[in-house]
Structure 1
Amino acid sequence: MTSRAGRTTIVDVARAAGTSVSSASVALRGEPGVSAQTRERILAAARRLGYRPDRQASLLRRREPRVLGVTFSVEQTFHGDLVENLYRAADASGYDLVLSAKTAGRPESRAVDNLLRDRCGPLILIAPELPRDALAQLAARTPVVTIGSDSPAEGVDSVHSDDRQGVTDAVAHLVGLGHRRIAYVDGGTAVMSATRSDAYVRTMREHGLDEHVRVISAAPTEESGIEVATGLLDGDDPLPTAILAHNDLIAVGLLLTLRSRGVRVPDDVSVVGYDDTRTAALATVRLTSVSQDAAELARRAVERATTRGDDPAQQIVTPARLVVRDTTAPPGR
């Protein structure tokens, strides 16, 4: 069957080949993004139907920018690192980015809606908090890739670092230095908070430190780190000799507060963060932290967003790496 006026369109080709229109378009333009088998099926259907591309429509498409939509949180330093690397990766693939921020007064759903209204192509969502069913519904409309979440949704590609290994390595580093009273400050409702907290508890138990397991509830902000440090200093219990934080923001809040109250870091208390942000590497901070490798996460996310085609969604896990700096040392040094 052909479209009106007897002219075969790309919709007819896609229907005959049993693929999506976007896959048919990719194959007919000779671009990467579909499997060899799918490409041949589409080309065979085009030949059989006598398909000829609409030159005017083709010209209009070429004028359209190749754009990826990205959501991120303005409150999270690591998201800024990711966005910078996403620009690099997108540029290398011939794409540009449109950013839509999540803020205290601008929920993630609105950030996504704005990208859809701007008619962006695939979407890359950094640490999304949308429910799985909402992500799946979104993926039915446009390709979706998440960064920094290990909670997969149907049809959604996921790219994240091995957070369990990252936390395991951080705890092992502290144990190797001689620490036993190692506390963990979690990220509250933040994405990956439960994963990292569970990894801490498991690793402490594997090292025979069950009696020293201590998870402190917090939020993924510097202010929360300040509050936790103040509570520890003003409390009746002895200070832990080491503290591992959900992210660098919390760790910096802890670090600055401890130092301002006369606690020597790392001599009295060692501090470890997570994300290895630019702040962690500052000469005045020199924070030991777990790196997620923002450049690799961005590269893999852009790769999936721009070349997935009809491939099934994937969950891609990249290595985490402990970066040791000046905020960890043996206890009571």
Structure 2
Amino acid sequence: MSSTESGPGGSSARRPTINDVARHAGISKGTVSLALRGAPGPSAETTARVLRAAEELGYRASRSASLLARRRTNLLGLTLTLRNAFHAELAEGVQAAADEAGYELVLSPVTAARAEARAVETLLDSRCEAVLLLGPELPAADLDDLAARVPVVVVGRAVEGVGLDVVRTSDEAGIALAVEHLVGLGHRALAHVAAGRGPIGTARTESFRAAVRRAGVAEASLVVEAGEFSETAGARAGATLLDGPVTGIVAASDRIALGVLDALGRGGRAVPDEMSVVGYDDSPWARLGHVQLTSVSQEPAEQARAAVRAAVDRLDGGPRPPRETVLRPRLVTRATSAPPPSGGR
């Protein structure tokens, strides 16, 4: 045997190939390929013979070649908004869960200059087997069309009537936690700084209106439209609340809440002595020492695991009905919420 070939118990100057296994087992290359992939055809005795030969030679099948033969890429695609710290945290969780499941992750960012639809097309062009969308703003009809092309998991948004999987926390429960917290502290005049008419912003606005009705403070409460999930929009909306009866603010996101805090600070309103602010997402920014924002946690690690599990189940487990996983949010109380000033404003 030449020094470039490997044998049982011997050393090798190169990795053994499937041809080496076929020669060692005395079986055709085609049969060896079927046996190594677990495909129908070879008998149990032949399969055992092939596996024994592969083990003796130290043969390891090329993962990429095996996937290619099965027309699989083992790629999961993920869209995320780069400026959204909560999305970054979710992406880390998705990466960890994909690693555990044996899949690779392809990221495609959404930015002010790069639309969500383009980010999705990039993932499809990259031959991703499934697409995970973080907080998508795409219309339901577009999501339905996408789900007809590739398995889709929507993360962080409720979607009805389309053939895809959804993983989210309950916006209704999350906003209710924020409202109940402020009302429990004694606030009676609340404001919701909303994020526009997109599906997520709309869901949180409707949840706020329902929550203040249940709490009996709807007449003294109002909705102020920021228009988008950004600090600038939050600051602009927050500036309209400097004068008036409102003492408790529920923001549609932490980014909006940061803008509100900036506006209140510039306007001379002390937080939480005069005004209380509650964010939504419990993003890393909320936990900064100089912010310490009371916020609603969407349990990102749990969402990430559930989203990857939904994608992998659909890819490896075959057809099944769409599945919605709704997680319970959690309020994290920090330094931006306290009882209102005694005697009111």
TM range (shorter): 0.7 to 0.9
Q: How many residues align?
A: 282
Structure 1 pair 58–222 and aligned structure 2 pair: CA distance change class (3 A) = closer
AA of the residue aligned to 1:324: T
* TM-superposed deviation, 1:59: 7.4
Q: Percent same amino acid at aligned positions?
A: 43
| One of 67, 80, 85 as aligned partner of 1:62 | 67
1:168-224 Cα shifts (integer Å, max 9, x gaps): 111011000000011111111344111111111111111211211200111210001
Paired residue for 1:177? Answer: 185
The answer on whether the counterparts of 2:64 and 2:73 sit within 8 Å (CA) in structure 1 is: no
The TM-score, its normalising length taken from structure 1, stands at: 0.80
- Report if the CA contact (8 A) 1:148-1:191 is conserved: no
Aligned to 1:39: none
User: Match of 1:268?
Assistant: 274
Q: Say yes or no: does 1:221 pair with 2:230.
A: yes
Question: By how many angstroms is 1:81 displaced?
Answer: 1.1
Corresponding residue SS for 1:192: helix
Alignment-derived partner of residue 5 in structure 2 = none
Given candidates 310, 327, 331, the residue that maps to 2:336 is 327
| Residues 208-287 of structure 1 aligned to structure 2 (within 5 Å) | 208-218=216-226, 219-233=228-242, 237-287=243-293
- TM-aligned CA distance change 1:114 to 1:268, over 3 Å: same
- Residue 61 of structure 1 and its aligned partner are, at CA, apart by 3.0
Q: Is the 8 A contact 2:273 2:341 kept in 1?
A: yes
Gaps of 5+ in 2: 1-35, 42-60
Contact 1:190 1:220 in 2 (8 A): no
The alpha carbon displacement at 1:148 in A equals 0.8
Q: Does 1:305 align with 2:311?
A: yes
CA distance, structure 1, for counterparts of residue 106 and residue 199 of structure 2: 23
1:261, distance to aligned residue in structure 2 (A):
2.7
Name the SS of the counterpart of 2:219 in structure 1: helix
1:1-333 residue pairs with structure 2 within 5 A?
A: 60-62=65-67, 65-218=73-226, 219-233=228-242, 237-308=243-314, 309-332=318-341
Q: Residue 152 of structure 1 contacts residue 158 of structure 1 at CA under 8 Å; is this kept in 2?
A: no
Report the residue type matching 1:273 in the other structure: G
| Cα offset, 1:103, TM superposition | 1.4
Distance in 2 (CA, whole Å) between partners of 1:168 and 1:231 is 24
Deviations along 1:43-77, one digit per CA (max 9) or x if unpaired, are 9xx68xxxxxxxx9997333665210111112322
- Structure 1 Cα separation of the partners of residues 64 and 327 of structure 2: 39
- In structure 1, what residue type is equivalent to 2:115? P
**SS in structure 1 of the partner of residue 291 of structure 2:** coil
- Contact kept, 8 Å, 1:77 with 1:277, in 2: the verdict is yes
Partners of 1:29 and 1:224 lie apart in 2 by 55
TM-score, scaled relative to structure 2: 0.77
Query: Matched residues in 2 for 1:298 and 1:166: separation?
Result: 18
- Aligned pair in 2 of structure 1 residues 74, 314: CA closer, same or farther (>3 Å)? same
Once residues 163 and 231 of structure 2 are traced to their aligned partners in structure 1, the CA distance between those partners, rounded to angstroms, is 35
Query: Which structure has the larger Rg over C-alpha atoms?
Result: 2
Write the distance in 2 (CA, Å) between the matches of 1:120 and 1:29: 22
Separation in 2 of the partners of 1:297 and 1:261?
A: 37
What SS is found at the alignment partner of 1:69? strand
